[in-house]
Amino acid sequence: MTHSNTPSTLVMIFGATGDLAKRKLFPSLYHLYQKGRISKEFAVIGVARRDWSDEKFKEHVKSSVLNAIGTSENIDEFVSHFYYQSHDVSDSDSYQALKNLATELDERYQTNGNRIFYLAMAPEFFGTITDHLKADGLTDTSGYKRLVIEKPFGHNLESAEELNNRIRESFTEDQIYRIDHYLGKEMVQNIEVIRFANAFFEPLWNNRYISNIQVTSSEELGVEERGRYYEKSGALRDMVQNHMLQMVALLAMEPPIKLTTEEIRSEKVKVFRALRPLKDDEVDQYFVRGQYDKGVSKGQKVRGYREEENVDPSSNTETYVAGKLMIDNFRWAGVPFYIRTGKRMETKSTKIVIQFKDIPMNLYYGMDKPLAPNLLVIHIQPEEGITLHLNAKKSGQIIETTPVKLNFANTSIDAMNTPEAYEKLLHDCMRGDATNFTHWDEVKLSWAYVDEISKVWEATRDVNFPNYEAGSVGPKAADELLAKDHFHWWPILDLDVDQC
Ligand code: BG6
């Protein structure tokens, strides 16, 4: 194992006994360690309320890694870098104790005072923690200090602004790493490469050749044990404000002049600024909401959203959103970007379909019928790859066309699984690369867009919920949204790489 020149660092994980740390953070750190991507001189302090010992914490980290990855090579050496501090987020004495431990570990591991504060816990504590980190001297360090912050970043523009102002009293914008884990996904990162490293896409990537773009992120699971959070969030805040809009920005942005964090962000921000805002009476023409009813998922009967734990039996929270976004700039004027996301849908899948405009006429046999349109499909998950849908000659005497698919499956090239989003994002943060984190300007503009929709939805209580069966493709109204424009959703299951 060779260890990289990523600067040595001390990572403090607030919420270290929680689910995110267990499922994502520890396994990601382990992967980075095993691949030699983090400096050998690193230490992690798990910070949480429970009264655990270092030993108990190390055992917890060990079992999290084993559960997630199933291997244990070098695990003892790995967990020897982990420490635990029982902590009360609003008590200065707790921060003092944390500071003493941090200073000791800084020295022991020669971390040069580099510190990452990772807030993997309930958002109501974000402000309190950052206030204390500054007031109690944890940010007084000779090395870099970076704050990694999980979503939700606010509940609307107003609360996000409040939170941002508070955090900014302790950290500067360039020290803040706001996580959107979709930006760590291999194929989301590939969008820019596909667009900007190929001669034949970029010239066509505009309203002269593209008729519409569809971004779908569907989930099979329901709300699980997150009812309390989800009731206040719904799919609009949970998925659209962040992940869906980020994918739209990457698809729509202009080529940056350089691949620097600032240049890429500045192009994404321009997309958000060009998003056509919706007036109150337009929301229903552009957006559809849904809520799942009982149904069958993976052969099992499942309950409806209103029957889930910690959910109001007459809840009007949406578990599905479909929308049509217009980007009012020269490149995209007239091209709808359709997005849809939902829980308890027929399959777990994130895909982007770029549909090209029809060519002027069909010269071939069956010329009275239009040719199938060319599609570029970007498979984000679970499979990763690209498919290009073309028309070719059908074998035989008659010159007749047939649709064919050119496939590239990402995993087949490396013959291994691509790294997890969190692994990449943690590594980026350690290296000080904030490109795949969201800048405040992006967060602000996406909240402003989404707030218009939630304002109208929250004011209309007579919603026809539930309106789609669990295990289905979502509400009918989502089909009508596209039918009005003479388009239709490309069926997700038919687009699978494996079926090509
Ligand atoms: C999270 C949402 O941000 O993304 C969850 O809070 C959702 O509700 C999840 O399930 C989806 O992420 P992925 O990577 O499984 O598509």
Q: For 144-188, how does the pLDDT look when each residue is reduced to its tens digit (9 = 90+)?
A: 999 999 989 999 999 999 999 999 999 999 999 999 999 999 999
Nearest in space to 338 (alpha carbons), one of 350, 323, 326 = 323
Q: Is the CB of 219 under 6 A from ligand 1?
A: yes
Per-residue pLDDT tens digits for 368-386: 888 999 999 999 999 999 9
Active-site choice (132, 243, 379, 439) = 243
Tell whether the torsion through CA atoms of 381, 385, 391 and 392 is positive or negative. Answer: negative
CA of 218 to the centre of ligand 1 (A): 10
Mean per-residue pLDDT, 316-335 = 98
Residue identifier of the C-alpha nearest atom 14 of ligand 1: 182
Ligand 1 pocket check for 186: Cβ under 6 Å: no
Tell me how far the alpha carbon of residue 87 lies from the centroid of ligand 1, in angstroms. Answer: 28
Model confidence over 376-427: pLDDT tens digits?
999 999 999 999 999 999 998 888 899 999 999 886 444 344 568 999 999 9
Atom of ligand 1 nearest to the CA of 421: 14
**pTM score, whole prediction:** 0.95
Over 60: is that where the pLDDT of 498 sits?
A: no
> What is d(CA 29, CA 310) in angstroms, rounded to the nearest whole number?
33
pLDDT in tens, 255-286: 999 999 999 999 999 999 999 999 999 999 99
Q: What is the pLDDT of residue 71?
A: 81
| Residue 238, ligand 1, Cβ within 6 A | yes
Q: 386: Cβ–Cβ under 8 A, 6 or more apart, which residues?
A: 190, 194, 376, 377, 378, 379, 407, 408
Q: Is 180 in the pocket of ligand 1 (CB under 6 A)?
A: no
Query: What are the contacts of 124-131 at 24+ separation with CB within 8 A?
Result: 125/14, 125/89, 126/163, 126/166, 126/167, 127/163, 127/166, 127/167, 128/89, 128/90, 129/14, 129/89, 130/166, 130/167, 130/169, 130/170, 130/171, 131/166, 131/169, 131/170
Give the pLDDT of residue 419: 63
Question: Can 243 be counted among the known catalytic residues?
Answer: yes
Which two structure tokens, joined as six digits, stand for 324? 């049509």
CA–CA separation, 37 and 30 (whole Å): 10
Decide if pLDDT at 500 tops 50. Answer: no
**From the CB of 150, is ligand 1 less than 6 Å away?**
no
Cβ atoms of 147 and 380 closer than 8 Å: no
pLDDT of residue 364: 86
